[in-house]
Structure 1
Amino acid sequence: MQKIQHSHTGGQTSLNANAILRRKVVSGLTGKSRSTLYRDISKGLFPHSIEIGGGCVGWPCYEVEQINNARISGKSDDEIKQLVVELEAARKQSNADLAA
């Protein structure tokens, strides 16, 4: 379980792999600004967000962690693009499995 530090309160939150993270949390975990995050999405370097209702979007924690781990381990942009393709394909497969 991952803990994140809240910059505005100093508190911490524990996250499980299935948590859905909002954009500000994702920016905090990746170190990327909003514009850079969305630029990475358009380049295929970060997974697309998922709609969580009420006009809100987020990202599965495990996807953010996998992208961060790939960056930390020195993966190339091409390798990260492939990882994004795999993550999004797994997401679609999971949705198909739920519908069946």
Structure 2
Amino acid sequence: MTAPNELRLLPWSGPEGKPCYLSTDGNGGYMSRLADNIEAVQLGTAAELLEEASDTLVDQEAGPEDLRWLAKELTGALRDVLRVATSRGQLLEVSEPHRS
């Protein structure tokens, strides 16, 4: 996924919440595959939460605790999806030729 000598933003944080990066010459390595798999899980979780949010918001019996839990989970999923989008956006910038 990454071009040679480029850093890939990984889908997890390091100590103190700092971003983690991977330097790789290709996408076939163990860490690249691990990152790809984790990104897929994160995106799948976000899709499931979106469905659950739709159901919860129309549920007249959903209480404040349900909505608070949903907001917390959606916040985490949005953080993960944003990290994936940022990482993939950086990869696109690296791999696409600049247009004038």
TM-score (norm 2): 0.31
Q: Name which one, 1 or 2, has greater alpha-carbon Rg.
A: 2
TM-score (norm 1): 0.31
Q: Which has a greater percent of helix? A: 2
Q: Which has a greater percent of strand? A: 1
Which one has more relative contact order, counting CA pairs under 8 Å at least 6 apart?
Answer: 2
